[in-house]
């Protein structure tokens, strides 16, 4: 099975074209040697991949190759999530502080305030 089709089938990406774009942009790598993988890479059982899903750096191991796209409860039979717990904790903390609260009636942020907010959130 092709890598882009596998990533779509185990529900890591919503569409196959998003999975292919992620591969082409270098967001999917082989964990063992760090090389970037093409969408046409042939998936084999036991391989480990690292993916960048927005701000989350996910690591997965292939258990089996699904025949088609599988339902969410069945994904566990086809891959193991090897992502460290610290990574999920980092995302939880970022989401907790990502919400900006503005006083009622203050209006939209100015361009300068918006840049300060973005700099604070993503650096």
Q: Could you tell me if 74 and 94 lie in one domain?
A: no
pLDDT of residue 119: 82
Which uninterrupted H or E stretch holds 81?
strand 79-81
Reported pTM: 0.76
- 3: pLDDT strictly greater than 90: yes
Number of compact structural domains in the chain? 2
Domain identity same for 90 and 58: no
Q: Same structural domain for residues 66 and 110? A: no
**Helix/strand number for the chain, H first, E second:** 4, 4
> Same domain for 14 and 69?
yes
Identify the pLDDT of residue 118.
Answer: 83
Mean pLDDT along residues 34-48: 94
21 plus 6 within the same structural domain? yes
30 & 77 share domain: yes
Q: Tell me: do 29 and 78 sit in the same domain.
A: yes
Residues 69 and 99 in one domain: no
Coil, strand, or helix at residue 90?
A: helix
- Same domain, yes or no, for 28 and 78? yes
Alpha-carbon separation of residue 38 from 43, 59, 66 (angstroms): 11, 17, 19
Average pLDDT over residues 5-31: 94
Task: For residues 11 and 52, state if they share a domain.
Answer: yes
Cα 106 to Cα 67: distance, rounded to the nearest angstrom: 54
Residue in this structure with the two tokens 């089938």, named with its chain if needed: 9
Q: Looking at residues 47-63, what average pLDDT do you find?
A: 92
Q: Is the pLDDT higher at 93 or at 24?
A: 24
Cβ of 61: how many Cβ atoms within 10 Å?
Answer: 14
Domain containing 38: what range?
1-83
């Amino acid at each position: 099975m092709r890598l882009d089709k596998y990533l779509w089938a185990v529900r890591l990406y919503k569409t196959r074209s998003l999975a292919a774009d992620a591969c082409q942009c270098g967001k999917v790598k082989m964990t063992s040697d760090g090389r970037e993988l093409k969408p046409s890479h042939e998936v084999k059982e036991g391989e480990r991949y690292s993916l960048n899903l927005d701000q989350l750096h996910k690591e997965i191991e292939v258990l089996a190759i699904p025949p088609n796209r599988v339902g969410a409860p069945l994904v566990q039979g086809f891959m193991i999530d090897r992502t460290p717990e610290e990574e999920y904790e980092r995302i939880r903390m970022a989401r907790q502080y990502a919400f900006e609260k503005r006083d009622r009636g203050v209006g939209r942020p100015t361009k300068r305030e918006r840049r300060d907010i973005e700099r604070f959130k993503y650096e």
